[in-house]
Amino acid sequence: MAYKPFDLTGKVALVTGGNGGIGFGMVEALAQAGADVVVWGSNAQKNADAEARLKDVGVRVLTQVVNVADETAVAAAMAEAVAKMGRIDTVIANAGIGGGAASFSEFPTETYRKVLSVNLDGVFFTFREACKHMVARAADGDMGGSLVVVSSMSARSGAARNEAYAATKGAVLPMMKAIAVEHARYGIRANSILPGWIATDMTSGAQGNDKFNDRVIGRVPMRRWGEPADFGGIAVYLASDASSFHTGDEFLIDGGYMIY
């Protein structure tokens, strides 16, 4: 029999912030690998555009307008997704926002709280609801599930003037390890992805900056910006049976930037 561990037919994957950037790069790959997909995003038009781009792939697509910082909204959306799709096998917490300041000493408390509410609280709420569903499923004999958080290279590096963002991206790493240890008995895995410099809306200002491209992107060993499509493979792997014994790990996808 052919080796087909990356065939996601019959599985359902939910991606927060899945209507653009890295999130959509993952959604597109998951769908092409056969998974039905659930896209969470806070912008209804971007959700509709993402759904339109997936219409010819041949899988079921559900889009939901969700603010992951809203605990009640997350619980309601997860329940609706399970009801409409029948199950959720993979949840990727990718939704996130930036938010820096001219200097740390001038960092606005309002910005700090806003970044934490999406990048940390949102991950917590999303995975708590996902675990409720997956643990309940396991109790009925249907074990398994994959939880993935999109962290950042800034969790390991000095992100000057971005202390709030870096703090949230660092905080989710031990959260995932704790989830991994607690939920392994249910066959649920929990892993983290740490992107480097990726060409998305969040980095649009830097992409056209010659000085930045020369000094920063110029020292990426791969000599280019990362692209959302570069995250399709890892998403499919972590959603697939090929990663059934892989949990509590961190995947740094940065074109070699951190080792140079």
Which residues are known catalytic residues? 165
8 A C-beta contact, residue 169 and residue 119: yes
8 A C-beta contact, residue 1 and residue 174: no
* Token pair for 41: 């995003």
Q: How many CB atoms lie within 10 A of CB 133?
A: 18
Residues linked to residue 36 through DSSP beta bridges, in sequence order: 12
* Token pair for 143: 């074990």
180/146 Cα distance (integer angstroms): 10
Residue at token pair 């000599």: 223
